Amino acid sequence: MRPWRESLGLIERHVSFKRRAVHAGDTVQTAGDAFGYLHLVHFGAIKTMVVTACGCQQVTGLHLMGDWVGFDGIATGYSACDGYAMDTSEVWTVCYAVLLQTAERVPELAHVLHIALGSQLAHHHKWRIAKVTLPVDARLANFLCSWVQALALRDLRTDNIRLLLTRAEIGNYLGMTLETVSRSFSRLAEIGLIAFDDKGRRHFAIPDIDAM
């Protein structure tokens, strides 16, 4: 069983949780709040953001079905980032103390939690390397491939993908300007690595993921 699916199944069977529907722009967690809960994405997509020292917002993470939001608060006791729904979504909010108690008697739950935490750390490490080493077109291509692969892993549609982030947010996440993101999208489309399905260029497909 895939880890994300196993997480949802184990939580549903063994842990009490609060089911919450959220819509695009709704808050899932707020930076600075006392930490006590984790949020598991049942469906939809959540983005996390922090406010930098200069007062700018920085996108720090994107979370899909089966991903956890809130690990950032474990070390300090306070949520380090804001979490917002990017689309109509449902999150399961779980008390962290109860989760730990349950994991002591359900080893499978402890195992998937460790995998989830390790996967987030590995993804963040990979993203930081890509951000500082890849040229801009390759950086965007890498981001789009990762997004499509994450959708495919969850058996979600990959032939007509709707961008849930604005061009500015993508640039913010990848360390690129809005203009650079737009030009990179155009270059990738010109050489056939992506195909837009609408005039607004919000829906696209990747004809050949290996070529990308």
Would you say residue 41 has pLDDT above 80? Answer: yes
Q: With the CA atoms of 61, 113, 151 and 12 taken in that order, what torsion angle do they form, in degrees rounded to the nearest 10?
A: -120
What pTM was computed for the model?
0.91
In the block, which residue shows the tokens 């994405």? 41
What does the DSSP assignment read for 112-125? HHHHHHHHHHHHHH
Structure tokens at 202: 């919000």
Would you say residue 130 has pLDDT above 80? Answer: yes
In the block, which residue shows the tokens 């460790």? 114
Beta-strand pair 203-205/195-196? antiparallel
Would you say residue 1 has pLDDT above 80? Answer: no
Mind listing the pLDDT tens digit for each residue in 45-77?
999 999 988 888 999 999 999 999 999 999 999
Q: Which amino acid is at 75?
A: A
Dist CA 40 CA 162 (whole Å)? 22
Would you say residue 6 has pLDDT above 90? Answer: no
